[in-house]
Amino acid sequence: MKNRYPVALGLFSSLLLTSITAHATISAYEGFNYTAGQNLSGQDAPAPLGVWTNGLGTTQALSLSYGSLVTSGGSATATDFFERGELLLGSSADTGAVQYVSFLASGLGGSGYKFLEFQNGGADSFGIGGSNDGNSNVNNAGYQFTLDTRSGPSGFRNSTIVRNDATNFFVIKIDYTGAANQDVVSWWFNPSVGGAETATSIATATGAFNFDELRVAKFTGGPGYTIDEIRFGSTWESVTPIPEPSSYGVILGAGVLFGVLSRRKRRA
């Protein structure tokens, strides 16, 4: 009697992947699905993203995880002082719409500058992370997670949330629908996934926030930090995806199928 387990397993995997990803319509996704132990610099990110450059970080085998958030692939760790892994995006963010970006990061605790930076034409636009680098705009002696807009004496919008090394989930919203130089960037810290956007964010800022490049920045000594699951989308749901309820039906169905095959095999 032929062993039907490989066929059943392949069918189950295919159906589950389809169920999980069908509803998560995103404009770009970086899951860091690269061979572990390689330099991040030179890696081709999935289309429509570009190629990572200038980074001394290394790729990791395991993905970070956060609750029921859909994850895949591996991750990348920034390890060296004054490190900037750069990813030139296919085009600038749409200035006539609302953009959402989400990512996971761990190892952001303690002091020093560790950020996911958003650049425009090589210049700073904004960033999310932690800093206490002595800049006159910082005022972050409590080592808090912060939004850095690099604009004026209030460039750092501190969160009152003390930085930590756990895996944290960050969601960013950039509203480009206002007048010139009146873009609004907001961010959320460890929000629930699979739900609706909450009305109250951690912090907001107003200014010009176009971006066409990402930088994984580490301007400090000591342990590195790991980043994963960078998503770009036009809705909150697209950057906070969870398995659809139908996928649980697939799992249950697969369990029944394996049970039937097991009984048949014992009888043969």
Report the alpha-carbon angle 197-126-182, nearest 5: 70
Q: Report residue 73: phi and psi, to 5°.
A: 70, -145
CA atoms of 113 and 203, how far apart (whole Å): 19
Four-residue CA torsion sign, 112, 99, 20, 33: negative
| pLDDT on residue 30 | 93
122 phi-psi bin (left φ>0, alpha ψ -120 to 50, beta other): left
| 23-243, CATH topology level | Jelly Rolls (2.60.120)
**The pair of three-digit structure tokens given for residue 207, joined into one six-digit string:** 């200014």
Map out the domains of the chain as residue ranges.
23-243
CA atoms of 231 and 31, how far apart (whole Å): 8
CA atoms of 148 and 126, how far apart (whole Å): 5
Q: Report residue 40: phi and psi, to 5°.
A: -65, -35
- pLDDT tens per residue, the chain (268 residues)? 444 433 443 333 333 333 333 344 568 999 999 999 998 888 999 988 888 887 668 899 999 999 999 999 899 988 776 666 778 776 666 667 999 999 999 999 887 888 898 988 888 889 999 876 555 445 565 788 988 886 544 577 888 898 999 999 999 999 999 898 899 999 999 999 988 898 889 988 998 898 888 888 887 777 788 999 999 999 999 999 998 764 433 333 333 333 433 334 444 5
